[in-house]
Amino acid sequence: MRRSKTTHNENTCLYNINCRSGFLLFLHIFNCLTKYTRTFNNTIMKSTFEWLIFAFLVVQISADTTNINTPSGPIKGLKLNYHKTGEPLYEFRGIPFAKPPIGPLRFKKTEPLEKRKEFHDGMKFGAICMQPGIDFMPETSIKPDMSEDCLVLNVYVPRNLHERLSVMVWIHGGGFIVGHGHLYDGGKLAIEGNVIVVTINYRLGVFGFFAVGDSSARGNYGLWDQKMALQWVHDNIASFGGNPESVTLFGESAGGYSASFQSLIPSNKGLFQRVISQSGVVSRTVILTNASIEKFAAEIAEKSSCPFDEKPIFVDCLRQKTADEILKLTEPFASTPADKLMFESTGMPVVDHELFLEHPIKSLEDKSSDVSNFFRSLDFMAGAVSNEGSLLYIMLPPSFQEHYKFNVTEGIPYKAVCNGILSPFVELWYANNSNVKNKLCKYYSAESIADQSLKATDAWADITFYYPIMKMLEYHSGGNTYQYVVSKLSPKPFGGPPPPWFKGVGHGDEVIYLFNVSQIMSLDENDRDEEFGKKMISYWTSFAKTGVPYAGDGSVPWKPYNIEDKHYLDLDDEMALKSNYKPEILDLWSNQLPVSNLESASAYEGHRDEL
């Protein structure tokens, strides 16, 4: 099946930031979509945005306010009416959950916020965290504030504030580089699923993950932010009518990776009971290597003119820079060499010897470890869309296409796949083993340019998503485990119209069935899409409430995943229970390749190395 055509010129906007680790730079993509849509019909776009401003102002003027008291202090929020049913929907926006990570708290783990006596104004959203490319609403002056003082969350409560509802905490995607919580309107999921929805901000890029390899700057600050937000929910959500003993952590792309990381931190015990990782789980290649930590720190030192010889002095020098200066001196790392894609960036978690005493995959391989026991004590759902490799055509920069003399609209040639994608991966993780490179290049090759292009997306998807998800499901098997694959084509692909050769459901395409995204990327009134969205919300929210995904009488029963049958639910207009998704991928990466090259913090003696 194919989605609609696009041209290279239309897609060029989508390529000017590299996704590095293969996560969706969602905010940037949204920016690009609005830009080239405006090109086709500027008048319609301008009218649309003017209407949105008018609607936004009407909502603000007509909304009632409501006050609640929480252990963290009093909060004033909004009482709205859900547009489809007229039912009450309460929103509490921009609630601080931690001390602002500014000044001496930059590059440090999150600190708790003291109780407030004064009311927090929860009628407006807070600032988004520092990131590149936030101009995503052309033709308007409505742009989100951006600041290091960004550790806020938003709470969406359906109908009344006095029930004991299950809670779903959403972690946004964006490659650990861009994104923010209020991009995702949780009202739809809250009302239709009868759950409380919380969306959060966390530090991104160098602000969230800068590390130097010692206690001067350990990294993982973004993960600490998420952990603190979960603690805030645990301590305060009862004041909103939520049940702190029924909390589900979920996210997509970098949000899925984040939910997976949090599920491997035993000190989180009691903060949440269930996890849904959409298109992203922890794998061996999403932990930054020691060599790369040193390399990126040295590059930042050179660009900042801060002395690098003594790490504490170096880090303190960076703390004296303004937030804009830090952002500017790290922006060049978002580019990629013309001849290859990069598989690491400064915006990646590390083994910090605090959240993670060792590589978490090593801990999972030891069934007796605290990490493994905590993970398997949680209810766990993980899955992907049918072609996660859409990220590849989205992120290929013009310089890469020029180097290999191709246009992504027409197809991705073998040379670009072998030399530009697989070769740098083998260089990083398999010590440039020529046998591994040759095997992978042969496996991901095809005769026609269309088939070769799909092999290219397969390679990216297998490395970054499918194989890691399969392994994580295996690690959790024996617990309460569920797998899914989304096969329903999206009416509004997040990556924009794909090239004509592309087949399947692209990365992030399922999110609009759960959320209205930034008031624009939401479902139209289409019966089949609406029905699918209702079923997906039912499966997700019933899992959040009971640990068992269920979409009502007459729905397809979703059997748990086990190591023998590997059950998964194929989510399409016609739902179907299937078994053993893509077994050839598991065989290739588990059985046909040698041990990969990992350094001391990530090395596993006596174990096979899998992604």
Residue positions annotated with a catalytic role = 253
> Which tokens sit at 27?
């905010």
Residue 331: partners with Cβ closer than 8 Å, 6 or more residues away: 132
CA-to-CA distance for 120 and 451, rounded, in angstroms? 56
The one-letter amino acid at 389: G
The per-residue b/e assignment along 55-65, b for 16 or more CB within 10 angstroms, e otherwise, is eeeeeeeebee
The one-letter amino acid at 181: G
CA-to-CA distance for 284 and 610, rounded, in angstroms? 7
The one-letter amino acid at 140: T
The position carrying tokens 């965290």 is: 129
- The answer to whether the beta carbons of residues 137 and 218 sit under 8 Å apart is no
CA-to-CA distance for 277 and 257, rounded, in angstroms? 7
Residue 459: partners with Cβ closer than 8 Å, 6 or more residues away: 389, 417, 421, 422, 440, 444
| Pairing assessment for the beta strands 73-81 and 120-121 based on DSSP bridges | parallel
- The answer to whether the beta carbons of residues 356 and 267 sit under 8 Å apart is no
Surface-to-core class of residue 67, CB atoms within 10 Å of its CB (0-12 exposed, 13-18 middle, 19+ buried):
exposed
Query: Which is it for the CA torsion 35, 37, 42, 46, positive or negative?
Result: negative
CA-to-CA distance for 350 and 200, rounded, in angstroms? 21
CA-to-CA distance for 594 and 159, rounded, in angstroms? 56
- The answer to whether the beta carbons of residues 192 and 537 sit under 8 Å apart is yes
Q: Is 550 in a helix, a strand, or coil? A: coil
CA-to-CA distance for 11 and 495, rounded, in angstroms? 9
- The answer to whether the beta carbons of residues 71 and 233 sit under 8 Å apart is no
Residue 587: partners with Cβ closer than 8 Å, 6 or more residues away: none
Q: Facing residues of 66 across strands?
A: 77
- The answer to whether the beta carbons of residues 77 and 65 sit under 8 Å apart is yes
Q: Is 598 in a helix, a strand, or coil? A: coil
> Which tokens sit at 153?
């969350």
- The answer to whether the beta carbons of residues 516 and 188 sit under 8 Å apart is yes
